[in-house]
Amino acid sequence: MTDTILTINPGSATIKLGVFALDRGRARVLGRATLDEATSKLRVQADETRAEHVLSPEASTPVLIQQAFACLADHLPMRGLKAIGQRVVHGGDHFAGPALIDDDVLAAIEALTSLAPLHQPKSIALIDTLRRLCPNVAQIACFDTAFHRTQPDIVRRFAIPRTLFDAGVKRFGFHGLSYQFIAAELERRRPDLARNRIVAAHLGAGASICALEGGVSRDTTMGFSTLDGVPMATRCGATDPGVLLHLMRARDMSVDALEHMLYHESGLLDLSGISAAARVLAESDAASADEALEIFAFRVAREAAALASTIGGIDALVFTGGIGEHQPDMRARICARLAWLGITCDADANKAGAFNIASPGARVAVLIIPANEEQAMADQCATILGAAGQSH
């Protein structure tokens, strides 16, 4: 019987699952699945096998998860399940790494709900569900914020009263699991770059950029919340706080209405007036679509340059996430704005989506590394199990 690890990565509309073999203390992927909660469809990929299962329509998330487990067992070894790793967006200052979930850890996660009101409740609900479904399997929380705990206070502080920093109002950073995977993948594929100065851009529906030095996080664009930094699909990115005060005072906008606008009615969607999807905008002839993409490229390039200043230069620019991996035009736009830093991309390599798309002889490597948060989570679980003497 194969010892396995299951990872669960909840998104806004889908839940990604991964099944990994625990092989001599390391996590080796066996298969992946995506559960679309809107359509109740589970898509499974295991080796050369691809399957789609239609689960109970309009079922609750706990029921869908239970059904998804049963379907996964048809394709992947689930009887030897040793641990379930769950992505939790916010770990605050309480968690600097993964944690074995017990009542105290769950209470600490729940206490952080006000810092991530749109993400934390879903994670908590999944934890409760899986503790009931699999009471004898280790549950491990993998935090998106933990990777950024290496950032110094001069990066984490806002220029507001110091007492607020002590009360938890500070820059936390997110997408940490994605950046942790990039650091590990660079160590594996480009060890000559892994310890150098890296600016990594996770560009998708949610987007952020991170400066890594020596494989650890030194700065990132997301701050106290997942609204900060570059514009996203429907999120605003960095915005003058005076605008928010104006909307509340001059337009009598409530906190709830303001929150909804910033998270769901901003970004590419309302810049273009057409779509939140960069792919759709790239196919449009509308001037507003092109302008939205150009604003996105401009802001990504500007933030990338700012992060390079934090680490004293740049040796590699890494693209990841749905836009970063699959949209060569956006990569070209961003690189063109960073040419003054020695960042240029080869048109053919970029179009082909090669690993290194930098122009021949360019000083700065430009790499495409597909996002793999599930692998980072599985690796964390393997580490926890190894420390507990449960890895083989």
Q: What's the 3-state SS for 302-336? A: HHHHHHHHHCCCCCEEEEEHHHHHHCHHHHHHHHH
- Determine the topology of domain 4-143 in CATH: Nucleotidyltransferase; domain 5 (3.30.420)
pLDDT at 38 over 90: no
Give the Cα separation of 252 and 76 in Å (integer): 54
State the pLDDT at residue 391. Answer: 59
Is the CATH number of domain 191-368 3.30.420.40? yes
Sequence-ordered list of residues with C-beta below 8 angstroms from that of 56, at least 6 positions apart, any chain: 40, 63, 64, 67
Average pLDDT over residues 331-344: 98
Eight-state DSSP code of residue 71: H
**Residue bearing tokens 């469809």:** 41
- On the question of pLDDT at 51 being above 70, the answer is yes
Give the burial string for 108-132 (b: 16+ CB within 10 Å, else e): bbeebeebbeebbebbbebbebbbe
Q: For 84-106, how does the pLDDT look when each residue is reduced to its tens digit (9 = 90+)?
A: 999 999 999 999 999 999 999 99
> Using one digit for the tens of pLDDT, what is the confidence trace for 184-195?
999 999 999 999
Active site includes 144?
yes
Say whether pLDDT at 243 is over 80: yes
392 pLDDT higher than 60: no
What tokens does 213 get? 């030095």
Q: Any bridge partners for residue 236, and if so which?
A: none
Q: Which of 23, 74, 144, 228 is catalytic?
A: 144
4-143 against 191-368: fold identical = yes
Provide the token pair at 249.
Answer: 């005072």
pTM of the model: 0.94
Confidence of residue 14 (pLDDT cuts 50, 70, 90): confident
- Residue 271 is encoded by which pair of tokens? 């810049």
Task: Tell me the domain boundaries of the chain.
Answer: 4-143, 191-368
